[in-house]
């Protein structure tokens, strides 16, 4: 089987982000299956707010180009999307718009979605919006997704409860299966 190269992006900038913690579990699963995985931590990219004037000026900010290159060379992505007021975070949308602009490296890229929330919504509406955005850009979003509600009960001492652990494994399996099958 070809080797997958999966990058992870978390839409929360919070130091103790639950989404980032569970994204790391997903990336560890990718590595445990013999594939490559890397967290692209948006906090270290310090992206400016998206501005089409900058995008159209011919020279993108260095960190934008770096992030775009990382996504371009990946075979797939895990996106961890927190939910703020029923949608994806502004940080995630900002990063998506920068990565997309000019050459859309998301096209034909395989995407696995996870969302973690402290309340009963389980970030499910943010995942619906994320699915719609990535589909619009021509990505292949895998059918399984992890929408985890009540993180205080379902994610204890760094471990997911069984049903959510299995769902995360399904997302990872589908991501690897599809991304290694597609020709680059």
Ligand X SMILES: Cc1cc2nc3c(=O)[nH]c(=O)nc-3n(C[C@H](O)[C@H](O)[C@H](O)COP(=O)(O)O)c2cc1C
Locate 162 and state its tokens.
Answer: 């069984």
113 binds ligand X, rule: CB under 6 A: no
Task: Check binding of 117 to ligand X (CB under 6 A).
Answer: yes
Q: Which is nearer to ligand X, 96 or 176 (CB)?
A: 96
SS3 of residue 140 by DSSP:
strand
Check residue 150 for interaction with ligand X (CB under 6 A).
no
Would you count residue 19 as binding ligand X (CB under 6 A)? yes
Stretch of 11-19, 69-77, 129-137, 157-165 contacting ligand X, by CB under 6 A: 11-19
User: Contact at 8 Å (CB) between 105 and 68?
Assistant: yes
- Return phi, psi of residue 170, to 5°: -65, -45
CB distance 72 to 100 below 8 Å = no
CB atoms within 10 A of CB 62: 9
**Does residue 18 bind ligand X (CB under 6 A)?**
yes
Among 32, 86, 156, 182, binds ligand X (CB under 6 A): 86
- Quote the radius of gyration of the chain (alpha carbons, Å): 16
- Chain positions contacting ligand X, by CB under 6 A: 12, 14, 17-19, 82-86, 116-119, 121, 123
């Amino acid at each position: 089987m070809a080797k997958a190269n999966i990058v992870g992006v978390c839409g929360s900038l919070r130091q103790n982000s639950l989404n980032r913690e569970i994204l790391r579990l997903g990336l560890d699963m990718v590595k445990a299956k013999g594939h490559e995985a890397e967290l692209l931590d948006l906090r270290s990219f310090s992206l400016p707010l998206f501005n089409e004037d900058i995008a159209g000026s011919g020279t993108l900010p260095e960190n934008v180009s770096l992030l775009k290159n990382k996504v371009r060379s990946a075979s797939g992505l895990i996106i961890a999307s927190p939910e703020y007021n029923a949608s994806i975070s502004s940080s995630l949308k900002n990063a998506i718009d920068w990565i997309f602009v000019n050459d859309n490296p998301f096209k034909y890229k395989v995407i696995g979605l996870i969302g973690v929330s402290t309340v009963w919504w389980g970030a499910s509406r943010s995942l619906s919006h994320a699915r719609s955005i990535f589909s619009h850009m021509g990505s292949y979003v895998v059918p399984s997704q992890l929408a985890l509600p009540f993180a205080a009960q379902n994610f204890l001492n760094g471990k997911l409860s069984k049903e959510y652990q299995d769902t995360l494994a399904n997302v990872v399996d589908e991501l690897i299966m599809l991304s290694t099958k597609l020709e680059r």
